[in-house]
Structure 1
Amino acid sequence: MPNTFELTDKALKREMTLTSELNDQTDRGAAIVGVAWVEEEMQAAIKSFLEEDKKAWDRLFGRSGPLATLSSKIDLARLLGMCSKVIASDLHILREIRNEFAHTVVARDNSVLTFESPHVKDKCLALKCVAHEPVSDPRTAFIRACAILNADFYMHRYFGQKVSSGGLIHARIEQGVY
């Protein structure tokens, strides 16, 4: 079994690399890469909570599977108790922002789409997971939200805790642990 400290050190280095990458990106790049970062960790966390079955996994999470979309993964994470309703809402906001940048060439007012575009800015500044921080810049709020939510899902992989109950996500009946 790997040393937890090594895993944490590796994750910290990865987070620092990704944060640096996000800071160097255009707004469009930051939105797409930032949400991909969260989605990748969310999917790994979900996978760690499920039984290993490659064929079933591929059918569910593969390109055309019912759990292939970010929206369906967010909803599954919510149903598994991996995040609260508030965090699920934040994840959907991040998804909407990503989709806006990925599928819209210019802003609604025909200007360049940025984190300062009013509708994007409002969404970024409405993210509850960064409400405790004194963040007034929408890009900073977005990147901080991605970092926080990525770290939350990383923690799920290594500690197996449900947010809703504070307990393990599954009982280990064979060992008498309920």
Structure 2
Amino acid sequence: MTNYEEYADRVAPGHFNRVMRFRKELTKETDRGCALMTAAFLDESLKRLLEANTVDDKKTFENLCIGTGGMATFSAKIEFCYLLGLISAETRRLLNIIRKIRNEFAHSMEILSFDTEDISNRCRSLHSKVISDTPFSPRVVFVSISYRIAGLIDGQTIISRRPTNSDDEFGADAFAKHQKYMEHEGKQVLELLIEKYYKKDPE
């Protein structure tokens, strides 16, 4: 392992093996299997990223990620990560193209491949400056971009620090501060409002 791989495995146990297992299995897949497996892997990666940036409440988090939960879909995870500033606008754009390619394979009974015109065109839109010198092959571009995005997401996950849910900050102390405010500044504001709106001399 490289220094990065050792660090990644220390702070995120199983991370390196997960990535290597994915890459090994992907090479065996048909085009349809490649698209579905890649999207599933990125979906799971986004979920890990979101979990790394939310308070430690696994039950609540998992409820949001299943069934009709707000983060249950690949699309929702992409949007949440973008809105939280965890991925860039460009990564969001690329992920949505990958999602659409996955949907084309998943929702069609026809025999499709990365060379199918609609899918090939979507792959062409993935052909970013990063791999502009790579000879165009729809599957190669799809896989290459997916690997790079997975690396970005996993890197962000590794350096993330979970926020804390402190009762002191948002519980009893906050209520006591609010009470203190209402007893002093709030009371003065209230008296001024009463004076202004309810104690006017009759015209």
- The TM-score with structure 2 as length reference comes to 0.70
Match of 2:189 in 1: none
Aligned-CA RMSD value: 2.5
Question: How does 1:114-133 map onto structure 2 within 5 Å?
Answer: 114-127=113-126, 130-133=128-131
Name the structure where helix makes up a greater proportion of residues. Answer: 2
1:6 alignment counterpart: 9
Note the C-alpha offset of 1:84: 1.3
* Local SS of the residue matching 2:27: helix
Q: Report what 1:163 is aligned to.
A: none
Q: 5+ residue gaps in structure 1?
A: 107-111, 161-167
Q: CA deviation at 1:12?
A: 3.8
Residue equivalent to 1:31: 35
Deviation string for 1:29-53 (max 9, x for gaps)?
Answer: 0000011111111110110000011
The residue aligned with 1:51 is: 55
The equivalent of 1:97 in structure 2 is 101
Seen in structure 2, the aligned counterparts of structure 1 residues 170 and 113 have a Cα distance that, compared at 3 Å, is same
Structure-2 separation of matches of 1:38 and 1:90: 11
1:11 Cα shift? 3.5
Distance in 1 between the 2:140 and 2:24 partners? 12
The change in CA–CA distance for 1:88 and 1:169 in structure 2 (over 3 A counts) is: farther
* Aligned position for 1:143: 143
Task: Say how many residue pairs are matched.
Answer: 158
Paired residue secondary structure (1:24): coil
Query: RCO higher in 1 or 2 (8 Å CA, sep ≥ 6)?
Result: 1
- Tell me the TM-score normalized by structure 1: 0.79
Question: Unaligned stretches of 5+ in structure 2?
Answer: 1-5, 169-203
From 26, 35, 41, give the equivalent of 1:22.
Answer: 26
Identical amino acids, percent of aligned pairs: 27
- Name the larger-Rg structure: 2
